[in-house]
Amino acid sequence: MNPSSRFLCLIAAAVALLAGPVRAALPSAGLAGHWRFDTVTGDRIADRSPSGNALVLEQPAFHAELGATRSLDCDGFEVGGRLDERTPLQFAEGLTLAIWVYPVRARGHEPLSGRPNPTPSWTTPVTGLYLSDARPVFGLFGNGKKLLLEGPELPLRSWSLVTVTLDGRQATLWINGAKVAEAAQAFAVPPAGGQPWLFGRSQSQYFRGRLGETLLWSRALTSAEIAAVHTETAAGYPRSAAATPWHDRFVAVESPGTRATGTWRSRPTRTLAGLEGYTHPTPPPTDRWGGRTDRPALKASGFFRTEQLGDRWWLVTPEGHLYWNVGVNSVRGPRQTPPVAPEAFAVTATRELRELGFNGLGNGGSPALQTTPQALPWSVRLNFLASFAQANKQTYATSGHTGFTEQCIPVFHPDFPAWARKHAAALAATVDDPSVIGIFTDNELQCPIDLLDRHLRLSAEDPYLRHGRAAALAWLAARGRPADPAQLTQKDRCQFIAHVFATYTHLVHDAIRAVDTHHLILGPRFNEHRGQFENPWFWPAVGPWIDVAAVNYYVLWGPQTEDIRAWSAALQRPVMLTEWYSKAQDAPGLANTNGAGWLVRTQTDRARYYQHFSLAAFETPALVGFHYFKYMDDGSDSVALDSAGGANKGLYHADGTPWTELIEAARATNRAVYPLIDLFDARRKSTPAVAR
């Protein structure tokens, strides 16, 4: 090779290096669609396949990946797209759909790519991929027939290539080029039926996360071709490095969710025995409230308050010591003959709970516990809106909380502010009590995702309900939005929810602070995932009016640290998990058919779940406490909507005898709360931040 040729080759190599890795050719036979987000013209992504069907984006937003690669940054509300299907997609000979997916939440139904079901409330698409609780699912639906093929849960905040192939006989699901599931294909891919091919959305729901390169073939690729597609497209989509170098061991606990009718699945569960590097150090001494005295005291205000040190939030005791609230709900004595005096039960229960490592009381329980000598810190609950609606005869019975007419909380009623001020007067009795941590303002206020639509349906003639309708119309008019529900977006609905709860928390905050300026405002025990936890407008709206966000934490298998960290950042406040539990099938005589907690098989599994939840909570720097639900089982004679026939929720049987495995597991983690927090904080500080 002559010098000039060698020089030209070096230049070409340098240009190629700067441009990024050279991609091998993708399988071309049957290629029916190929979309990348590296370049966009207006709102259109060109199709790199011969079909020429452009992807038309709605509210496009992009995220830079490696090199020149970009992804579609889907917000879960309005970012998505649909094909301009000028060349109809045909799958008579088979199908392969491959899409790079970066999920960020672990629950719910989230569409990825395909033709949605013509009935908006049905989740199975005509043809397409979606996530169900972070598990990839491929679905076909047509002529009364349905095919569902489900894979394992995808890692959050990490890229995965999800691929499905259909060859007319078999459907196969692949993750990162490896086969993970297969099922017989008993019917052909249904025709479009007038349904568009959508990306990142269905008719009524949107994906939250990032979507990358997407490819379609009108045939089933071979396993070798599937592996090649992964290899040839992976360079722009890095798998996240492990968040830490720690190698904690997990055990498997099976659960179907809240009821035995669900699908029993293995859930990775971390226990104290599997925690790498934990040496069971002696817990530090504490003050009378349970605050650690091995750290320098901070400002002593005489009441509980919050403070953020570094990235970790803390409660601070009246004496100025760092405190993490390990509480339990609904502590009251069992029904027995002869009955035990409430005062005697309070003394015994307080002593036993302290011995088990509990340093506080949660919601509910016997009033005698609050006045017993050396009482555990506790919290007041005032039902501002529930009491107002009940006084107006506008409530109904529902499971676990108060039901409101049309599920619309009456915060816009002109009489509510005066009611709130009058209701808050009861706080005068505890205003100077240092053992009170804070004030719950209601319990699980209803918050359906269609709260705006429901307000618009309220009668304009009803003297009680018309104020809610008028407030919704005024809110829409101020934003220049239509009052027609058919023209509203999920963004409209979520922003209205934020407006409703900002109005509520502001009014209640002002009513409380007119009487009590000392105690923390804990909010109404939030518990709605779609309308509250996953609503990006919600937390900033309520944050100014509460001091700690009380969250009743169900549905997810233990605290999700990144989610809770994001809530706290949006709030600029810490979070407390004020309800959680599991219930076991082996509890004799209890139906366990209702209630929001996880159903597991055995008491051993309950003990494991307690430790799994506790460890994740201690590891999460945005959390300042949790309250286990609850002290005692609901007996088999229970008729309550959330526990009819009995429910194994408690640390103790309904007769007051302990569930030994559970309380021993609780004792081990509860009493080590501060050494465990120190261990997790040391891990976090020694581990470089992972780029996301």
pLDDT tens, 91-123? 999 999 999 999 999 899 999 999 999 998 899
User: By C-alpha distance, which of 421, 345, 58, 344 is closest to 207?
Assistant: 58
Distance CA 492, CA 208 (A): 17
| Beta carbons of 505 and 499 less than 8 angstroms apart | no
Token pair in block for residue 662: 């559970």
pLDDT, greater one: 239 or 422:
422
| Beta carbons of 614 and 606 less than 8 angstroms apart | no
- Tell me, yes or no, whether 346 lies in a domain: yes
413 to 111, 409, 501, 504: CA distances (angstroms):
38, 9, 14, 11
Check which CATH number belongs to the domain holding 414 and give it. 3.20.20.80
Residues 259, 162: one domain? Answer: no
Task: Give the amino acid at 660.
Answer: T
Flag whether the pTM goes above 0.85: yes
| Beta carbons of 622 and 574 less than 8 angstroms apart | yes
DSSP alpha helices (H): ranges in 44-84? none
Residues 275, 222: one domain? Answer: no
Total domains in the chain come to: 2
Per-residue confidence (pLDDT) for residue 240, from 0 to 100: 72
Indicate if the pLDDT at residue 3 is higher than 50.
no
Cis omega before residue 338 (within 30°)? yes
165 to 31, 36, 231, 430, 473: CA distances (angstroms):
13, 20, 17, 65, 49
Dump pLDDT digits (tens) for 547-584.
Answer: 999 999 999 999 999 999 999 999 999 999 999 999 99
Per-residue confidence (pLDDT) for residue 650, from 0 to 100: 98
User: By C-alpha distance, which of 416, 488, 400, 420 is closest to 480?
Assistant: 488
688: confidence class by pLDDT, cuts 50, 70, 90 = low
Task: Give the amino acid at 22.
Answer: V
Residues 193, 276: one domain? Answer: no
Dump pLDDT digits (tens) for 322-355.
Answer: 999 999 999 999 988 788 999 999 999 999 999 9
Dump pLDDT digits (tens) for 372-384.
Answer: 998 999 999 999 9
Check which CATH number belongs to the domain holding 186 and give it. 2.60.120.200
Per-residue confidence (pLDDT) for residue 692, from 0 to 100: 40
- Tell me, yes or no, whether 77 lies in a domain: yes
Residues 442, 343: one domain? Answer: yes
Residues 218, 332: one domain? Answer: no
- Tell me, yes or no, whether 115 lies in a domain: yes
Task: Give the amino acid at 613.
Answer: F
Per-residue confidence (pLDDT) for residue 16, from 0 to 100: 37
Per-residue confidence (pLDDT) for residue 27, from 0 to 100: 95
| Beta carbons of 615 and 270 less than 8 angstroms apart | yes
246: confidence class by pLDDT, cuts 50, 70, 90 = confident
Per-residue confidence (pLDDT) for residue 19, from 0 to 100: 38
Distance CA 646, CA 185 (A): 43
Indicate if the pLDDT at residue 691 is higher than 50.
no
Indicate if the pLDDT at residue 273 is higher than 90.
yes
With residues binned 3-state (H G I as helix, E B as strand, rest as coil), the percentages for the chain, rounded to 5, are 30, 25, 45
Per-residue confidence (pLDDT) for residue 151, from 0 to 100: 97
Residues 66, 169: one domain? Answer: yes
Indicate if the pLDDT at residue 11 is higher than 80.
no
Distance CA 196, CA 199 (A): 10
Residues 214, 350: one domain? Answer: no
Per-residue confidence (pLDDT) for residue 97, from 0 to 100: 98
Indicate if the pLDDT at residue 657 is higher than 50.
yes
- Tell me, yes or no, whether 421 lies in a domain: yes
Residues 492, 540: one domain? Answer: yes
Residues 229, 194: one domain? Answer: yes
Residues 178, 275: one domain? Answer: no
| Beta carbons of 512 and 518 less than 8 angstroms apart | no
Residues forming a β-bridge with 177: none
User: By C-alpha distance, which of 573, 564, 679, 560 is closest to 314?
Assistant: 573
- Tell me, yes or no, whether 677 lies in a domain: yes
Per-residue confidence (pLDDT) for residue 243, from 0 to 100: 53
- Tell me, yes or no, whether 320 lies in a domain: no
What Rg do the C-alpha atoms of the chain give, in angstroms?
28
Per-residue confidence (pLDDT) for residue 426, from 0 to 100: 98
How wide is the angle at C-alpha 584 spanned by C-alphas 276 and 601, nearest 5°?
70
| Beta carbons of 180 and 194 less than 8 angstroms apart | no
Residues 599, 501: one domain? Answer: yes
Residues 572, 663: one domain? Answer: yes
pLDDT, greater one: 219 or 688:
219
- Tell me, yes or no, whether 104 lies in a domain: yes
Distance CA 234, CA 176 (A): 9
β 208-217/95-103 pair status: antiparallel
The residue segments making up the domain with residue 74 are: 27-236
Indicate if the pLDDT at residue 71 is higher than 80.
yes
Distance CA 195, CA 668 (A): 56
Indicate if the pLDDT at residue 263 is higher than 80.
yes
Strands, DSSP E only, in 546-663?
A: 549-552, 575-579, 582-584, 598-600, 623-628
Q: Please name the helix (run of DSSP H) or strand (run of DSSP E) that holds residue 265, with its range, or none.
A: strand 265-270
Burial annotation 318-356 (CB, 10 A radius, 16+ → b, else e) = bbbbbbbbbbbbbbbbbeeeeeeeeeebbbebbeebeeb
Task: Kindly report the average pLDDT of the chain as a whole number.
Answer: 94
Dump pLDDT digits (tens) for 155-187.
Answer: 999 999 999 999 999 999 999 999 999 999 999
pLDDT, greater one: 692 or 636:
636
Per-residue confidence (pLDDT) for residue 67, from 0 to 100: 94
Distance CA 313, CA 292 (A): 14
- Tell me, yes or no, whether 317 lies in a domain: no
400: confidence class by pLDDT, cuts 50, 70, 90 = confident
